[in-house]
């Protein structure tokens, strides 16, 4: 088969990212402009600012990505963009850019689900085998998904309330850490011990919950502040991380037993977490007949390469959208 090159655009949150991806697993180029520093003073992503910053840089990022790939538009087979979920204004900027390219160059247009992108980031590590059990852990999602093909998703379980990344960011904020707090907690926890009390959670084995953990740490920090007691930030991070990640590992183990997949993959921003990666790798040693992959750290958080990897399957299945396609901030996988 001839090679398939896709220009993918990801602008669902605070990264303006464009990648040229060949055959779903060869990255020709990627250029990402991160807005994190502009949002840090607000301790979270400011949606209006995010859209404005995407508009300012999107054309340059596209041009730079094409230059770095050392190809011309005539070699590109299709244009892909993140259609949802995400921030509506941010999604819109990527969608307009992609539609303009598709229209001007007369190429097929693909509206890719952001979570399908996170999952297919694993294609850069190894070919995905089906049935595949995918764990998506990010700032907005905590889900276990069964895949019977590249674009065949069944959500097996999800969080009843907050996402794990949201809990990391909230607890980090309470501890005075920068946004996004996940990477900081990850680092601090390496020098800490699990010394603080943890809540007893009553959560079914087929669902997740992070609001109770969030409130528990909120209370611990608030009480310590009121009593003027010093907080050992490293121990607090280690305690939080231990309970946050063990919930994931227990449910992953339960789902593997129940569904017997051929491949287990972990995806989403929180899959960059070193403790989660180590714990999951340990767990998977007990399942030596099942393939296991986690994307390299740079493909864990939002990036256009993963959208290009997923878009390859949209292209093969001819799942094209028209120039009227609307972004969907609450888009589901199924």
Give the alpha-carbon dihedral of 182, 327, 9, 106, to 10 degrees: 170
Q: Is 16 an interacting residue with respect to Zn ion (CB under 5 A)?
A: no
Structure tokens at 121: 């980031």
Q: Is 117 an interacting residue with respect to ligand KG4 (CB under 6 A)?
A: no
Give me the residue whose beta carbon is nearest to ligand KG4.
269
Q: Is 186 an interacting residue with respect to ligand KG4 (CB under 6 A)?
A: yes
Q: Nearest approach, Cβ of 14 to Zn ion (angstroms)?
A: 10
How do strand 142-149 and strand 5-10 relate by DSSP bridges?
unpaired
Q: Nearest approach, Cβ of 310 to ligand KG4 (angstroms)?
A: 14
Task: Kindly write out the interface string for residues 254-293 of this chain, putting x where it contacts ligand KG4 by CB under 6 A and - elsewhere.
Answer: --------------xxx-xx--------------------
The nearer residue to Zn ion, 124 or 217, going by C-beta atoms, is: 124
The nearer residue to ligand KG4, 90 or 273, going by C-beta atoms, is: 273
Q: Is 11 an interacting residue with respect to Zn ion (CB under 5 A)?
A: no
Q: Tokens 């995918």 correspond to what residue?
A: 134
Rounded Cα distance between 190 and 186, Å, is: 7
The window from 88-96, 252-260, 299-307, 310-318 that contacts Zn ion (CB under 5 A) reads 299-307
85 binds, among ligand KG4, Zn ion, none (CB under 5 to 8 A by kind): none
Residue 270: partners with Cβ closer than 8 Å, 6 or more residues away: 137, 138, 139, 164, 165, 168, 182, 276, 300
Pick from 81, 124, 168, 312 the residue near ligand KG4 by CB under 6 A. 168
Alpha carbon distances (Å) from 181 to 10, 235, 292, 300: 22, 15, 27, 15
Q: Is 13 an interacting residue with respect to ligand KG4 (CB under 6 A)?
A: yes
Residues binding ligand KG4: number (CB under 6 A): 19
The nearer residue to ligand KG4, 13 or 123, going by C-beta atoms, is: 13
- Burial environment of residue 228 by CB neighbours within 10 A (0 to 12, 13 to 18, 19 or more): exposed
Structure tokens at 83: 């259609």
Task: Kindly write out the interface string for residues 132-151 of this chain, putting x where it contacts Zn ion by CB under 5 A and - elsewhere.
Answer: ------x-------------
Residue 41: partners with Cβ closer than 8 Å, 6 or more residues away: none
Residue 226: partners with Cβ closer than 8 Å, 6 or more residues away: none
Pick from 111, 140, 212, 295 the residue near ligand KG4 by CB under 6 A. 140
181 binds, among ligand KG4, Zn ion, none (CB under 5 to 8 A by kind): ligand KG4
The window from 99-107, 149-157, 184-192, 296-304 that contacts Zn ion (CB under 5 A) reads 296-304
**CB neighbours (10 Å) of residue 14?**
27
Q: Is 302 an interacting residue with respect to Zn ion (CB under 5 A)?
A: yes
Contact status, residue 193 vs residue 235, Cβ threshold 8 Å:
yes
Rounded Cα distance between 193 and 2, Å, is: 54
Residue 177 phi/psi, 5-degree rounding, is: -85, 160
Give the end-to-end CA distance of the chain in Å, rounded to a whole number. 30
The window from 21-29, 180-188, 212-220, 249-257 that contacts ligand KG4 (CB under 6 A) reads 180-188
Rounded Cα distance between 58 and 116, Å, is: 22
Pick from 17, 25, 138, 279 the residue near ligand KG4 by CB under 6 A. 138
Residues forming contacts to ligand KG4 in the complex (CB under 6 A) are 13, 138-140, 165, 168-169, 180-183, 186, 268-270, 272-273, 301-302
Residues forming contacts to Zn ion in the complex (CB under 5 A) are 138, 302
């Amino acid at each position: 088969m001839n090679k398939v090159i896709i220009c993918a655009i990801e602008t669902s949150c605070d990264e303006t990212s464009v990648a040229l991806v060949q055959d779903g697993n060869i990255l020709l180029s990627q250029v990402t402009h991160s807005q994190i520093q502009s949002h840090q003073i607000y301790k979270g992503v400011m949606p209006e600012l995010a859209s404005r910053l995407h508009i300012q840089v999107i054309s340059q990022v596209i041009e730079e990505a094409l230059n770095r790939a050392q190809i011309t538009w005539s070699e590109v087979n299709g244009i892909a963009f993140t259609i949802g979920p995400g921030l509506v204004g941010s999604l819109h900027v990527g969608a307009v850019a992609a539609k303009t390219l598709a229209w001007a160059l007369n190429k097929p247009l693909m509206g890719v689900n952001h979570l399908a992108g996170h999952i297919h980031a694993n294609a850069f590590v190894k070919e995905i085998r089906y049935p595949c059990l995918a764990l998506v852990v990010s700032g907005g999602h905590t889900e276990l998904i069964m895949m019977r093909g590249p674009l065949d998703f069944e959500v097996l379980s999800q969080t009843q309330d907050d996402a794990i990344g949201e809990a990391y960011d909230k607890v980090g904020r309470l501890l005075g850490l920068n946004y996004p707090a996940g990477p900081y907690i990850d680092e601090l926890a390496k020098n800490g011990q699990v010394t603080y009390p943890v809540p007893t959670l009553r959560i079914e084995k087929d669902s997740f919950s992070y609001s109770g953990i969030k409130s528990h740490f909120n209370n611990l920090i608030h009480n310590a502040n009121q009593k003027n007691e010093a907080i050992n930030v490293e121990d607090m991070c280690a305690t939080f991380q231990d309970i946050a990640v063990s919930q994931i590992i227990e449910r992953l183990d339960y789902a593997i037993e129940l569904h017997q997949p051929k491949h287990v993959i972990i995806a989403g921003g929180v899959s960059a977490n070193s403790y989660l990666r180590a714990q999951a790798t340990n767990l998977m040693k007990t399942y030596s007949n099942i393939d296991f992959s986690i994307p390299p750290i740079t493909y864990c958080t939002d990036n256009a390469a993963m959208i290009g990897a997923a878009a390859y399957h949209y292209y093969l299945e001819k799942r094209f959208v028209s120039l009227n396609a609307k972004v969907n901030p609450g888009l589901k996988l199924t």
